């Protein structure tokens, strides 16, 4: 049977072309909730709700971050379900626990949805643990939730750990050095210990000198460690290749099989963070394939070494949080780079050094799309300039270029940086005293303002004025 011919068919095909070009609606890019409407505007779907991002930024202004708690929920649920599915399929006999690494994004709109979907927590400081205390006091916390405590255990931190343990929270401090080992002799609950595995992976953070945790040799010499339940490692973040997550697990499993001889209470391996997101990249491993490899590896190694299958923990933060936020700017002006260049500067009403600091700190690349005028055919190669007075405040996609609509083809142009939900907010700063972006939450089809754009009085106060 022939397909019916309808008037809007050619138009729809065109729209699909643009959708593909901007890499929207593609699961591998984590843009499965994103779409483009017939006017060339960016759309985000949440179940049957739909957000028109162009309308939202026209109403609330820029610079603006929009958070999508549903995306957090979906990603946490998927992650836990996928681990549990492979545990069942592959006959793995340990349990799986997901711990959301709070340092990745401490906003309430990120943490609460993660917990609601079954996440436990990993905190990095006394102040993060204080937020856990707040949640307990506000009855937002299921008593079964487990909290792993990383980071240097200051007296304040240790006291809070003790206090929450006494109140019945399952809190597991991770011992990171000899001082903490001594300190933890008095601790009544289970503890973990961190190993600095001697292994190299592809990632910005794989440093020659790692200051976190004990070496494998040191751990083997420690003998019995009081109340030891968890062997923990955290190699790096945004690990580029799947092997960079699989090999450390193998190595940790060998160490585990040694440690368990003197520490029969040891029953868990905590693999830390490190799972990456594709950002702008074409080929990247998927969460599903990674999880399958990890469970398979854990099983094969444990069986080979003749030890009980350990429980598995991951503390993936970026993987869950990055896709749940976008940051939006308006293009204020266009400038010539130099007479010979086919590129132009687009100046935004925000700052990379302030709002998307990893662009500056680690040359992070982003998936950038227009918020409107997405269906124009002629595009301009651009570099994007931040609004601070600093020549470092720029984004050039690593010296290459970003393709965006030409300014003469759109009355006004807004652009969205996707996947900005991990790390940027708590690293944000106030160079040139620019205002931080407003924070909007898109949930249940409505927009809520979580933080207004800062006014001069508020910023001045931060600096004693
Ligand atoms: C930063 C950190 C994480 C989260 O890392 P991601 O790469 O974002 O997954 C997890 N565990 C520890 C100990 C960390 O320091």
Which of 72, 101, 111, 202 has most ligand 1 atoms within 8 Å of its beta carbon, as the pocket-test mutant? Answer: 101
- Cα separation of 377 and 28, whole Å? 25
pLDDT given at position 13: 56
pLDDT at 2: 41
**Ligand 1 atom 3 nearest Cα:** 273
By CB atoms closer than 10 A (0-12, 13-18, 19+), residue 205 is middle
CATH superfamily of 11-62+323-462: Lyase, Ornithine Decarboxylase; Chain A, domain 1 (2.40.37.10)
Of residues 141 and 415, which shows the higher confidence score?
A: 415
Q: CB count, 10 Å around CB of 411?
A: 8
The closest-lying atom of ligand 1 relative to the alpha carbon of residue 315 is: 10
Give the mean pLDDT of 237-263: 96
Dihedral sign for Cα 435, 436, 442, 448, please. negative
- Over residues 277-297, the mean pLDDT reads 94
Tokens of 206: 């794989």
Cα distances from 202 to residues 160, 199, 312, in angstroms, run 36, 10, 23
Ligand 1 midpoint to CA 415 (Å): 29
- Is the pLDDT at 4 greater than 70? The verdict is no
Give the strand pairing for 268-270 and 228-232.
Answer: parallel
Is CATH 3.20.20.10 the right assignment for the domain spanning 73-315?
yes
Cis peptide before 99 (omega within 30 of 0): no
Alpha-carbon span 41 to 22, nearest angstrom = 12
Q: State if residue 245 touches ligand 1 by the CB under 6 angstroms criterion.
A: no
Residue pLDDT, tens place only, 378-412: 999 999 999 999 999 999 999 899 999 999 888 89
What backbone torsions phi and psi does residue 123 show, to the nearest 5 degrees? -110, 155
Ligand 1 touching residue 370 (CB < 6 A): no
Answer whether 431 contacts ligand 1 (Cβ < 6 A).
no
Q: Return the sign of the alpha-carbon dihedral for residues 103, 109, 164, 266.
A: negative
DSSP for 271-307 reads --S-----TT-SS---HHHHHHHHHHHHHHHHHHHT-
Lowest average pLDDT, out of 99-113, 187-201, 254-268, goes to 187-201
In this predicted model, what pLDDT tens digit does every residue of 181-201 receive, in sequence order? 999 999 999 999 999 998 888
439 DSSP β-pair partners:
65, 451
Verify whether ligand 1 is closer than 6 Å to residue 316 (CB atom). Answer: yes
> Phi and psi at residue 209, in whole multiples of 5°?
-115, 110
pLDDT digits (tens, 9 = 90+) for 197-248: 988 887 776 666 677 899 999 999 998 999 999 999 999 899 999 999 999 9
- Give the model confidence (pLDDT) of 109-151 as tens digits: 999 999 999 999 999 999 999 999 999 998 878 878 999 999 9
Indicate the pairing of strand 325-336 with strand 311-314. Answer: unpaired
Best probe residue, ligand 1, of 119, 147, 234 (max atoms within 8 Å of C-beta): 234
Mutate to test the pocket of ligand 1, among 237, 252, 362 (most ligand atoms within 8 A of CB): 237
pLDDT of residue 209: 67
Q: What is the DSSP string of 59-92?
A: HH-SSEEEE-HHHHHHHHHHHHHHHHHHHHHTT-
Would the CB of 103 count as within 6 Å of ligand 1?
A: yes
Indicate if ligand 1 lies below 6 Å from the C-beta of 317: yes
Domain range summary for the chain, segments of one domain joined by +: 11-62+323-462, 73-315
Does residue 99's CB lie within 6 angstroms of at least one atom of ligand 1? no
């Amino acid at each position: 049977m022939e397909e019916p011919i309808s008037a809007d068919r050619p138009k729809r095909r065109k729209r699909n072309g643009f959708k593909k070009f901007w890499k929207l609606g593609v699961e591998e890019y984590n843009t499965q909730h994103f779409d483009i409407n017939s006017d060339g505007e960016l759309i985000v779907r949440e179940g049957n709700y739909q957000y028109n991002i162009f309308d939202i930024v026209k109403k609330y202004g820029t610079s603006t971050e929009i958070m999508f708690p549903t995306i957090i929920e979906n990603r946490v649920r998927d992650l836990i379900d996928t681990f549990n599915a492979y545990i069942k399929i592959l006959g793995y006999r340990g349990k799986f626990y997901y711990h959301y690494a709070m340092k990745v994004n401490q906003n309430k709109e990120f943490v609460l949805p993660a917990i609601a979907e079954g996440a436990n927590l990993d905190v990095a400081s006394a102040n993060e643990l204080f937020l856990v205390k707040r949640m307990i006091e506000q009855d937002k916390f299921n008593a079964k939730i487990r909290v792993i405590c990383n980071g240097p255990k200051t007296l304040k931190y240790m006291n809070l750990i003790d206090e929450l343990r006494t109140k019945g929270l399952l809190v597991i401090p991770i011992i990171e050095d000899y001082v903490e080992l001594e300190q933890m002799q008095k601790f009544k609950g289970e503890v973990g210990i961190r190993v600095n595995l001697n292994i190299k992976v592809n990632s910005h953070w794989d440093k020659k000198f790692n200051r976190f945790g004990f070496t494998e040799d040191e751990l083997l010499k420690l003998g019995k460690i009081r109340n030891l339940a968890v062997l923990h490692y955290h190699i790096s973040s945004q690990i580029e290749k799947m092997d960079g997550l699989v090999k450390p697990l193998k190595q940790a499993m060998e160490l585990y099989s040694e440690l368990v001889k003197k520490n029969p209470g040891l029953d868990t391996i905590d693999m830390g963070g490190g799972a990456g997101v594709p950002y702008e990249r074409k080929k990247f491993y998927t969460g599903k394939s990674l999880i399958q490899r990890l469970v398979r590896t854990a099983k094969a190694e444990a069986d080979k070494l003749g030890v009980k299958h350990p429980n598995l923990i991951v503390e993936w933060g970026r993987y869950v949080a990055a896709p749940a936020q976008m940051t939006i700017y308006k293009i204020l002006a266009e400038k010539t780079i130099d007479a010979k260049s086919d590129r132009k500067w687009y100046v935004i009403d925000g700052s990379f050094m302030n709002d998307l600091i990893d662009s500056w700190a680690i040359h992070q690349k982003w998936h950038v799309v227009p918020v409107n005028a997405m269906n124009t055919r002629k595009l301009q190669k651009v570099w994007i300039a931040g609004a601070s007075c600093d020549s470092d405040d720029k984004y050039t996609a690593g010296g290459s270029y970003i393709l965006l609509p030409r300014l003469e083809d759109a009355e006004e142009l807004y652009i969205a940086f996707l996947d900005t939900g991990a790390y940027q907010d708590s690293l944000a700063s106030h160079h040139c005293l620019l205002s931080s972006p407003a924070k909007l939450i898109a949930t249940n089809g409505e927009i809520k303002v979580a933080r207004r754009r800062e006014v001069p009085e508020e910023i001045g106060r931060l600096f004693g004025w």
